[in-house]
Amino acid sequence: MPDTLPIRLLHFADLHIGMENFGQIDAQTGVNQRVLDFIQRLREIVDTALEREADLVIFAGDAFKTRDPNPTYQRELAREVMRLARANVPIILLVGNHDVPIIANRASSVDIFRTLEVPNVIVGRKEALHRIETRRGVIQVGTAPWPQRARLLQMDENRTLNAEQLDHLLATTVMEELQHLAEQVDPTLPAVLAGHFTVSGARFGSERSVMIGQDVVIHFSALNLPAWDYVALGHIHKHQDLNPGNYPSVVYSGSLERIDFGEEFEPKGFCWVNVLRGQTTWEFVPVPARRFITIDADATQDGDTPTEAVLRAIERHNLQDAVVRARVTLLQAQEATFRPREVERAIRERGARFFVGIQKQVQREIRSRIGVRNPESLTPLQLLERFFISKNTPHDRIKLLMELADQIVGNDKSRQ
């Protein structure tokens, strides 16, 4: 149908509202300054969805840092979700590992929207295929939330399984559910799968450092099915397409904000998807995430002025509004003359928003028991002589021992 218009989909994931790394309490709001960064990214996402007239928004899981977020964080998420709902933009909130409770029957951190039956909000708490009416037509969305071991342990026959057996059973169960979802798809309508888990072949970001729950790996083949026009994934913070150049695209949108310096060079953003049956296209759209900058300075060649070497390195960076750390290599003799407070002051004066600290790597002098700094440069006989000297062996005895050693070494060489 050439006149059919694509359904405009905004796909994002891994908000983690509540991450406080490197921030301090903001005096005006009473909220940690880094948490405000994450909230600001969410506001920008909603602004973009409304400005671009998105037909559907998929949030692929992990709304908060913890399973039990405080009411302030819940309020901020609710404000933005309601902006979309009131604008008649359907939004799917997939339940991630940071959202799901330990006990299977307890409510997730986003279940309140389902309980209140908020129009245009779908909570993806279980594997299901949803038929959604949008302004540009009908789209099918399969939801596959974080695989929960607690569901398996509710069955008596599974309680005797060890951890490895449970992992295998859980992965197998999820892949069977994914196949079942694909079989339900109407092939005449566009279809998207939203999942929150690790897929084989994915490259990890920093999610391991904040991960809640043990990971289960789902085979890529369980997602690479002709039923889907696009697979929207969450859980891994590094943006990537697991099926480049092929159809359907299997995409981790990545997180919206950097958690630590492990994500210093990773772009952050969301995916804008034009969904059309058999002809879906997408693009990655960067967001202005807080920059993380590492200043590396080697001061070992600067003698008595190691601080100046670091100050020169600082001058080479634009630190405005960034999270900044310094890594400095020093000689042992330079430690006493290094001035860390001057380095910190220079970093702050160049506009750094958050200063993390200075990591010093000091090259210690190697004191050899035989009085040689580079013993690997000596021959075995020279090393032996140095050893005798270090033991205060009389000169005449050293001469005799070295003659004997020379004979032994010479005889050994003659047999080779």
Mean pLDDT calculated for residue range 33-45: 95
Higher pLDDT, 395 or 325: 325
pLDDT digits (tens, 9 = 90+) for 261-297: 999 999 999 999 999 999 999 999 999 999 999 999 9
Mean pLDDT calculated for residue range 61-89: 92
**Domain 7-286's class?**
alpha beta
Q: DSSP letters along 240-288, please? A: EESSTTSSSEEEE---SS--SGGGTT---EEEEEEE-TTT-EEEEEE--
Q: What is the pTM of this model?
A: 0.81
Length of the chain: 416
Ranges of beta strands (E only) in 80-190 are: 91-94, 121-124, 128-134, 137-144
- Model confidence at 160: pLDDT above 80: no
- Predicted confidence band at 1 (pLDDT cuts at 50, 70, 90)? very low
- Predicted confidence band at 29 (pLDDT cuts at 50, 70, 90)? confident
Closest to 309 in 3D by CA, of 328, 291, 323, 324? 328
What pLDDT is attached to residue 2?
46
Strand order in the sheet with 121-124: 121-124, 91-94, 56-59, 7-12, 269-275, 281-286
- Model confidence at 301: pLDDT above 50: yes
pLDDT digits (tens, 9 = 90+) for 114-135: 888 889 999 998 899 999 999 9
pLDDT digits (tens, 9 = 90+) for 194-234: 999 999 999 987 655 555 556 788 999 999 999 999 999 99
DSSP 3-state of 92:
strand
Look at 100-104, 228-232, 342-346, 381-385 and tell me which has the smallest mean pLDDT: 100-104
Higher pLDDT, 394 or 221: 221
- Model confidence at 108: pLDDT above 90: no
What pLDDT is attached to residue 366?
55
pLDDT digits (tens, 9 = 90+) for 2-12: 468 999 999 99
pLDDT digits (tens, 9 = 90+) for 161-173: 666 777 778 888 8
Q: Where are the domains of the chain?
A: 7-286, 292-363, 375-414
Cα separation of 92 and 177, whole Å?
19
Mean pLDDT calculated for residue range 399-415: 74
